Amino acid sequence: MSASIATLTTLCPFFVWNAEFSMLLLWPRFGKDIMRIVKVREIGEFALIQTLKELLCHGNPSSGEMAFPLVIGIGDDAAAWHTTEATELATTDTLVEGVHFRHDFTTWEDLGWKALAVNLSDIAAMGGLPLHALVTLGLQPETDVGDVHALYRGMLSACQEYQCRIVGGDIVRSPVTFITIALMGIATGHALTRYGAQSGDVVAVTGPLGCAAGGLQSLLQGTALDGESGRHLHEAHSHPVPRIQAGNTLVQHGVQTAMDISDGLTADLSRLCANSGVGSVIYADRVPVDAFLKDAFPQDFLQLALNGGEDYELLFAGSEEIISEAVTRLGPSAAIIGRIVANHPGEVKVLDERGAAFPLERHGWDHFGDVSQISYNTFRIRPPNSLLGRIANSRLSFGMA
């Protein structure tokens, strides 16, 4: 399952801030009549998924009745179930033209790589190895066959790199191009989850953040980003590297809690914290940022690193001893960036090098909604409203007030 459906487990406390969600809380009493008058854009992605999660909890057959008992269901990067010989994993992610990608920014071959990479990243975030992929393409009839082939070459390139195999799929006519991949894999030990972070734990990431967002921002703004920095940032956006090996390393070192950063550090850490019932503090100056991003965005690099997303580095938490060892093993790009605190579940506070609140200007992505309130030194997932006119055809929304 994707990051988007994976983030709902304990978000209920946030959902009392607008009228639509107040209605949502009354749902069990008034049922379908209220839901019939509420639009998806009015409650946003996260509230929608929360209501679906409740439906699924009640309507799904019991896991105990299944041949292979489910151990991780909705609420993480991938689903996981035990067979007698392995813990198997399955995830799915979709890219839609005009929402997740634009053909003028992304070649078909890069699109193929990226479509598989975002799924591989979900397997990485469980500490797993990928095995088999099903590829569904929604295609416009006017699409060039050569472009479809380039898309597959991109996917096959990722298959070769990470030793997984495309075993089937579906091709359908559609007025908009979309690519949905379902990826199955196995855990290399215990599965990493978004739960279990505890007060006193430290928070770390596997590598530098913000480059993908920097690359996308320069494309959106038409900014000339030539030279090595430009190439590096555009490559980070168009050719993300799933951290399969890093995920395996976390499992080997006994890390239990991890997720991938697809929607931005603050947004994704807020989810991890909400799932674990804890809060967190990030030290902005410890967030790893590479020289290319600083070179291209001398003013904004930290905002991009904190809120950009799509780098697909892993975010993880645990005792200082375990995390320190893992970070050492992961190499110089990995870093401890903050700590878990007991209060304010789901809250992410960002502090600058003097310990003062660091102003957050941007925030993570909601597929249908908006963030109605922005607090300038903390991040929490809020009930969304009406961003749709303002999004810029990407997973990022820039320049929110």
Return the ∠ at Cα 17 (arms to 13 and 23), rounded to 5°. Answer: 90
Q: Is the Cβ–Cβ distance between 345 and 272 less than 8 Å?
A: no
Q: Does 86 bind a second copy (CB under 8 A)?
A: yes
Using the rule CB under 8 A, is 29 a contact of a second copy? no
Among 196, 339, 382, 375, which Cα is nearest to 277's? 196
User: Could you tell me if 120 and 29 are in contact, meaning their C-beta atoms sit under 8 angstroms apart?
Assistant: no
Q: Rounded to whole angstroms, what are the CA distances from 18 to 12, 294, 348, 381, 397? A: 13, 38, 21, 13, 21
Burial of 367 (0-12, 13-18, 19+ CB in 10 A): buried
Q: For a second copy, give the closer residue by CB, 156 or 351.
A: 156
Whichever of 173 and 354 has its CB closer to a second copy, that residue is 173
One-letter identity of residue 11: L
What backbone phi and psi angles, to 5 degrees, belong to 18? -140, 170
- Confirm if 2 and 91 have CB atoms less than 8 A apart: yes
Q: Supply the minimum distance, in Å, between the C-beta of residue 45 and a second copy.
A: 6
Cβ-based nearer residue to a second copy, 114 or 339 = 114
Closest approach of a second copy to the CB of residue 136, in Å: 5
128-139 and 178-187 as β-strands: parallel, antiparallel, unpaired?
A: antiparallel
Complex with a second copy: residue 93 or 311, whichever CB lies closer: 93
User: Across-strand partners of 184?
Assistant: 90, 132
Least distance (Å) between residue 129 CB and a second copy:
7
How far, in Å, CA of 382 to CA of 11, rounded?
A: 9
Least CB distance to a second copy at residue 192 (A): 15
Six-digit token string for 302:
């930290």
144 forms part of the interface with a second copy (CB under 8 A): yes
Q: Which is nearer to a second copy, 130 or 210 (CB)?
A: 130
User: Least CB distance from residue 299 to a second copy, whole Å?
Assistant: 31
Residue 271 makes contact with a second copy by CB under 8 A: no
Q: Is 251 in the site for a second copy (CB under 8 A)?
A: no
Q: Which two tokens stand for residue 395?
A: 């997973």
CB of 324 to a second copy, least distance (A): 31
> Which residues, 6+ apart, have CB-to-CB distance to 227 below 8 Å?
none
Options 77-85, 195-203, 237-245, 372-380: segment touching a second copy (CB under 8 A) = 77-85
Residue 79 in contact with a second copy, rule: CB under 8 A? yes
Task: List the one residue from 14, 15, 18, 38 that touches a second copy (CB under 8 A).
Answer: 38
Burial 1-25 (b: 16+ CB within 10 A, else e): bbbbbbbbbbbeebbeebebbebbe
Strand partners, 341: 279
Return phi, psi of residue 135, to 5°: -115, 120
Q: By CB under 8 A, what part of segment 149-178 binds a second copy? A: 149-150, 152-153, 156-157, 159-160, 163-176, 178
Site for a second copy in 372-401 (CB under 8 A): 388
Beta strand 128-139 with 202-205 is unpaired
Taking the complex as a whole, how short is the minimal distance between the CB of residue 187 and a second copy, in angstroms?
A: 11
Binding residues for a second copy, total number by CB under 8 A: 96
* Cα distance between residue 49 and residue 14, in whole Å: 14
109-138 residues near a second copy, rule: CB under 8 A: 129, 131-132, 134, 136, 138
Q: What are phi and psi of 77, to 5 degrees?
A: -65, -35
| Cα 285–Cα 366–Cα 297 angle in degrees, nearest 5 | 35
Q: Interface with a second copy by CB under 8 A: which range of 83-91, 218-226, 239-247, 271-279?
A: 83-91
Among 60, 221, 223, 373, interactor with a second copy by CB under 8 A: 60
Supply the minimum distance, in Å, between the C-beta of residue 213 and a second copy.
Answer: 19
Q: Is 367 in the site for a second copy (CB under 8 A)?
A: yes
> By CB under 8 A, what part of segment 177-236 binds a second copy?
178, 180, 182, 184, 186
Stretch that binds a second copy, among 80-88, 202-210, 217-225, 244-252 (CB under 8 A): 80-88
**Closer residue to a second copy in complex, CB, 92/218:** 92
8 binds a second copy (CB under 8 A): no
| Angular region, 355: left φ>0, alpha ψ -120 to 50, beta rest | left
CB 284, min distance to a second copy, A: 31
The span of 60-68, 252-260, 286-294, 353-361 binding a second copy (CB under 8 A) equals: 60-68
